[in-house]
Each structure stands twice: as C-alpha cells, then as structure tokens.
Amino acid sequence: MKSLPIVAALTLALAAVVFVASSAGAYGLSGIGGRMGAVDPDHADGAVTVGGHLELEESGSRVHLQPGVLFWSTNGLSDVNPNFDVMYHFARAGRVGPYVGGGAGMHFYSFDVPGPNDTKTDLGANLFGGVLIPSSSLRFFVEGRYVATDRSQTMITGGVTMPLHH
C-alpha cells in the first residue's frame, strides 16, 4: 500500500489549502511553484528532493503562507512530506532580498522492506531561509532548510514561483 501515504499527503495538503483560504480571510492565492534540490536525511544517503507549493499572501504584506509537499527517495527509504510554512521576506515586493520562515509538516516514510515497519508517520518542524530573486514574470529562490523530526533533514533547494494575477 505505498500509494496510501501519497493519497494521505495530497489530502492533507488540500485540507490545509481549504483551511487557510477559509480562515485567513484577506490572504489570497498569489502563486504556484516548484523546487528541486539535495537532501541529507539522518541515517540515510543523500538524495534529490522535489516538491511543489502554493503561495498565499495579503496585498502589501511581507508575510506569505506556503502549503506544499516535498518528496525524496534513497536506498529503499522515501518520504512524502506535506507541510505548511510561514515565510517573511525583508525586501519590498519586486526586489532581490532575503527571507526566513518556519512551519510544520507530516512525514510519511516508506521502507522497501516487507514487514511491520514498512511505513512510519512522523511530525516535523521546518526552519528555513533563503534569497528571493524576482524577474519580470517569475520569482526564483535559493533556500536552505532544516527539518527537525525523528529523521532530521538538511536540504538546499532552488525553485521558482509563478505569480498568479487576480
């Protein structure tokens, strides 16, 4: 049942988006994006991580809400990680500048070994920082992230957010 964690992750991400849209009132969907990078999980070999995110913001605010999902797999171990992050960027919109953030996520680990320990679910805390690099039609970013969980992870990613115009 390897598809169960993926279905659960997508369901959790969708629930987070619906919750944020209904409770954040003034925050609206402002972008959609993706990322790719390297992850170094505790007690496992390094791996490539890929993911996607939504961006919600209030007009004129430097605070962004970012529900998303990350995935990595190495040597029979994989992690599907739906998460919800809050990001603060220091520069005005449209300017290159640093940002910091934090959040929480669920980790759905899967082991390619049959038996009672072939899956595990864990809660984690996210701490991250990076640089936003806006262009005329996209926002690029480079980010360092630490995930505190039973299998702590350090990652460096790069990605892009495509702004949505209302």
4-38 pLDDT tens trace: 455 555 555 555 555 555 444 578 899 999 999 99
Mean pLDDT, rounded, for 96-107: 95
What per-residue confidence (pLDDT) applies to 108?
93
Residues with Cβ within 8 Å of 89's Cβ and at least 6 positions away in sequence, in order, are: 62, 64, 97, 98, 99, 132
Residues with Cβ within 8 Å of 42's Cβ and at least 6 positions away in sequence, in order, are: 151, 152, 153
More confidently predicted of 156 and 28: 156
What per-residue confidence (pLDDT) applies to 24?
46
Q: What is the pTM of this model?
A: 0.79
Domain residue ranges of the chain, discontinuous segments joined by +: 3-163
Architecture of domain 3-163: Beta Barrel (2.40)
Would you report the helix, strand and coil content of the chain in percent, each value rounded to 5? 15, 60, 25
Sign of CA dihedral 139, 15, 154, 43: negative
